[in-house]
Structures are given as C-alpha cells and as structure tokens.
Amino acid sequence: MRLSVAGFVLSIFVALSAAGAVVPAGTTVEIRLKTKMASNASKVKDPVEALIIRPVMVNGELLIAAGSTLSGEITDVKKAGESGQAELGFNLTKLTPAAGGKSSKVSMVLKKVDNARETVNDKGTIVGIIGSDTISSRMDQGIARVAERYKGLADLLGTTKGAFVKQSDAEIVYVPGVEMSMELKSELPVATPPPAPVIPAIPNEDALVQMVQAQPYRTYAEKPPKPSDITSLMFLATEQRLDAAFHAAGWSTAAELTHDTAMETFRAIAESRGYKEAPMSILLLDGQKQMMVFQKQNNTFAMRHHLRIWKRPETFDGQTVWVCSATHDIGIEFSPQNRTFIHKIDTNIDAERAKIVSDLLLTGMVKGLSLVDRPEVPKHSQNATGDNLDTDGAMAVLLIE
C-alpha cells in the first residue's frame, strides 16, 4: 500500500494557503548562506544574505516558501587570538518572498550552524574553537616537551609533523552554501501566503509500489561483512540529470578510498577542518558497490550529510532506477575494534530522507514525488558500526528531469 502522496507532500514541503496567517515566535527557519562571512575578514555592518531552503509551515499551511531570501548585516566580529576564541554575529532583518512582492521585517536569532565545529551561544553568536585544543596543537605541545630533553629528536618530530599536518586555523570562515537554523524571536504576520507549488505524484502507482517493494532494502558493509544502512530513497533519472541535481543542490562527490585520501582524512581530523571530497567506506547492495556518492560538509570532517546510490537493473516508464541510503554523521570517534575513526550518525534516518528531498525540490528539477510504504522494512535496527537506525520504513521516490 502506498502512503498518501498528498499527505507526504503537504506535511513536509507543500501546503494549502490561508490569508491573514501568523508565523509564531519560536518557529525554526532553515537557511543557506549566499554571502561569505569570516571572523578575520568581515566587518560590522557588512551585508549578509541567505536563502530559505525549506518551506515554513504552520498548522498545515504554507506561510513562507522555500527560495525566499533573508538579508541583514554583520553585528559582531572578533578574530581568534593565541588563547582566545573567534566570534561572529549577524542579524537578518528583512524577508523577501520567493515569488516577489512586498518585503517584511523579521526578528530572528541563530540557533545552529549545520555540520560546524563551532558552537552558538544563547545570544546567537557563533563562538570559534580553541586552537590550542586541536590535535595539531597538542602534537606541537608534545614535541615541545620532548625538546626539553632531546632537542635533536624534537627537531626531527617537528619537521615530520610539519610535512604532514598544518597548524589548525581557529578563525570562523563560512562560505556561500553553509546551512544554518534560525528561530523567529517574535511572531511574523503573513498577509498573503504564497501559492502552494504543485509536485505531481509519479504515475502508474500500482507498478511503482510493486517495484519499490521488490527492491532489496538492506546494505552490507564489505569488510567485515555486516548488515548496515537501509535504503530510503529512489530516483528515476538519467545518470547525468541525477548528478546535475545533486550538484545544483550543493552536494559534493566523494573521492575514492585510497592511501592518499586516508592520509588527507587524518590531516583533516588533526587540523580540525573540513574535507568536502572525503572518501566513504564501501557498502554493498545485492552484492554491488555503490555507483555514486554525495556529501555535504562544512568545516569539520566529524559531521556531514552523506549518501550512497546504486543503479538497479530495471527501468520504470523508460527511466533508469537508482536507490539510495543516506545518513547524517554527527560525530566521530576512534574505534579500537576497527582500528580507524568511525562516524556516529543521527538515528532518525527519515530526517535525512526529508533533507535530501527538500534540497532536490529547491533545484526545480523534481517533476514527480511519491512515498511508498515498505511493511517489511524494520522500524528499528543497527548499522555495521552499531548505531541505531529508526525509520517509518517508507521510500521516497523522485522523478528528476
């Protein structure tokens, strides 16, 4: 049985409109930066612009459309010192609807920067890392202690370390594409809600349900072989259009896992920085390795949105069929058992499914959308590294043209 496509679309992306509505204080607004900001380069009153990347809905009504823009200015800047922390604050005060029309004033506060090594304090100010706490700095501190007794050895260690690992940069630098969560500080009246976009259901429903439910849903780690991620999305598209859609949505491809990319991963961890082409481990579906991989990072390897895509042997209404597993890495730790660093994931994998659908809808390349129930998929399970996986079991199907 297929879940209500209308209900799925209404609950996550689209909605009926009602005049004279109000977005209450405390409502979360997801944004993507359009301008760069940096603690070592920005100045107070520099302009800031951001794109709203998910529709804002209240009681099933669409009140702010994705694609609307927010604008404001930098309010606080503090460079990182030798022992201090960088700080960066901004204020977004004007909302411009996606479809044009009259702008309105807004009062917002920053709550979270997605996949960031920095924190956000209760005033909405971004607070940078402490440079002396990074792995790179601790290595320098250890070499300094060695130098107290063995200068020659310390010089050798310092030269070796310098050749492979750089000093961590504690400045806050966010480029266009960085995503954040804002919160309304006061209610926002909406005189004329935006029109609800129409995303049709994928036709030939019975055949679609039959095909989706016949797909293998459990991936397996290659070494050692263990059950791992659960597939949660299907794409009907050419390889070229699928690749173009993810790049348009701000996702990056991942490099192949080799000795060199493994070393670059270590450097990224030691230097407390991002690595947007970071490799992914291999997962198998029906014994086949993933064919496409995408990820979305910020400035730390410890956190990233990432997904793997497999090409399936069948077609649907002339379209190539792809299935996808997706998880959100929210931390990293060293595993003595696996003798490597492993990511910890957000257990709610349905949230990652919704994020991907929302990102792709914003590109305008999605021409059909359905949600198909899969009763055989376990609602609670674990991946190959022991993290819990919680899901409603459904698969989102997107037609991309």
| Residue bearing tokens 């890392």 | 129
Fold classification of 19-129+170-190 is: Lipocalin (2.40.128)
| Residue bearing tokens 């099933």 | 60
Collapsing DSSP to helix, strand or coil, 363 comes out as coil
From residue 117, alpha-carbon distances to 91, 135, 302, 303 in Å are 21, 13, 8, 8
Q: How far apart are CA 69 and CA 32, in angstroms?
A: 9
Domain residue spans of the chain: 19-129+170-190, 135-164, 205-400
**Whole-prediction pTM value?**
0.85
pLDDT tens for each residue of the chain, 401 residues long: 444 443 444 444 443 444 468 999 999 999 999 999 999 999 999 999 999 999 999 988 899 999 999 999 999 999 997 667 999 999 999 999 998 778 999 999 999 999 999 999 999 999 999 865 555 444 444 434 434 444 443 343 344 435 455 677 899 999 999 999 999 999 999 888 888 788 999 999 999 999 999 999 999 998 888 999 999 999 999 999 999 999 999 999 988 888 788 778 777 777 778 888 888 889 999 999 999 999 999 999 889 999 999 999 999 999 999 999 999 999 876 555 555 567 799 999 999 999 999 999 999 999 999 999 999 999 999 999 889 999 999 999 999 99
| Residue bearing tokens 């030269």 | 159
Q: How far apart are CA 68 and CA 49, in angstroms?
A: 11
The conformational region for residue 112 under phi > 0 = left, psi -120 to 50 = alpha, else beta, is beta
Query: What are the residues facing 89 on neighbouring strands?
Result: 76
